[in-house]
């Protein structure tokens, strides 16, 4: 079986944009406003000949009325149970939020390999200004990426397939 790579993060950080870019197709729906993705969750990807299956956990909603905290907790649980590698996406344009910290703490308690992506780093200036704050979450390695343009994605993918 292909390794399962789960993308987690609070709404609007760019999970579906990253999913589509990694899959090379527009499958997940990208939303301009924070919300829940109701679309296909799984698709296959490949990097340097290493094949894997991706899951966009942002599309998972168990109950319509679930508060955001419960949704995020649900994502983390599913990722930690099913995934071989967990990709945690943070939005560097909004800065680190309480939800990011909660998710980071949950993921840290899991034995699953974790790749932390600082997303929406579209240029070098944004990398310099916005990425240092992400290190406050306490992870030793953070990959600055633009899911929109693909900037920095190669290094993140090397790290992901390096855990297979
Ligand atoms: P999700 O809710 O985590 O799945 O986030 P989406 O993938 O739906 O993206 C939310 C918004 O962020 C959309 O407007 C995307 O176009 C935007 N976005 C995603 N990745 C990037 C990026 O790398 N750079 C910029 N500037 N915007 C991005
Ligand atoms: Mg989404």
Q: Which domains does the chain have, with CATH numbers?
A: 4-162 (3.40.50.300)
Ligand 2 centre distance from Cα of residue 31 (Å): 7
* Residue 40 confidence (pLDDT) above 70: no
**Can you tell me the mean pLDDT for 149-162?**
98
5: β partners = 54, 85
Task: Please work out whether the CB of residue 13 comes within 6 Å of at least one atom of ligand 1.
Answer: yes
77, pLDDT greater than 90: no
Could you tell me the two tokens for 125?
A: 């200036």
| Main-chain dihedrals φ then ψ at residue 27, nearest 5 degrees | -110, -55
From residue 18, alpha-carbon distances to 6, 53, 98 in Å are: 11, 14, 22
**Residue 92 pLDDT > 50, yes or no?**
yes
ipTM for this prediction: 0.99
CB 117 within 8 A of CB 145: yes
d(CA 149, CA 103): 26
Does residue 59's CB lie within 6 angstroms of at least one atom of ligand 1? Answer: no
Residues of the chain above pLDDT 90, percent = 60
Ligand 1 and 20: CB distance under 6 A:
no
- Tell me the whole-structure pTM to 2 decimals: 0.91
Distance 161 CA to ligand 2 centre (A): 22
Residue among 9, 11, 12 whose CB has most ligand 1 atoms within 8 A, to mutate: 12
The C-alpha atoms of residue 103 and residue 125 are separated, in whole angstroms, by: 27
State the sign of the Cα–Cα–Cα–Cα dihedral 43, 88, 91, 141.
Answer: negative
Tokens standing for 27?
């499958």
């Amino acid at each position: 079986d292909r390794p399962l790579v789960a993308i987690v993060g609070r709404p609007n950080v760019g999970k579906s944009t990253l999913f589509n870019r990694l899959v090379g197709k527009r499958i997940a729906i990208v939303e301009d406003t924070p919300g829940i993705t109701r679309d296909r969750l799984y698709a296959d990807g490949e990097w340097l000949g290493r094949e894997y299956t991706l899951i966009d956990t942002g599309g998972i909603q168990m109950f319509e009325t679930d508060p955001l905290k419960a949704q995020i907790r649900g994502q983390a649980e599913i990722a930690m149970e099913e995934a071989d590698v967990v990709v945690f996406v943070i939005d560097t344009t909004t800065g680190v939020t309480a939800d990011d910290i909660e998710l980071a703490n949950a993921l840290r308690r899991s034995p699953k390999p974790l790749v932390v992506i600082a997303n929406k780093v579209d240029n070098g200036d944004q990398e310099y200004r916005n990425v240092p704050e992400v290190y406050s979450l306490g992870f030793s390695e953070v990959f600055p990426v633009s899911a929109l343009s693909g900037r920095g994605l190669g290094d993140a993918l090397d790290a992901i397939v390096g855990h297979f």
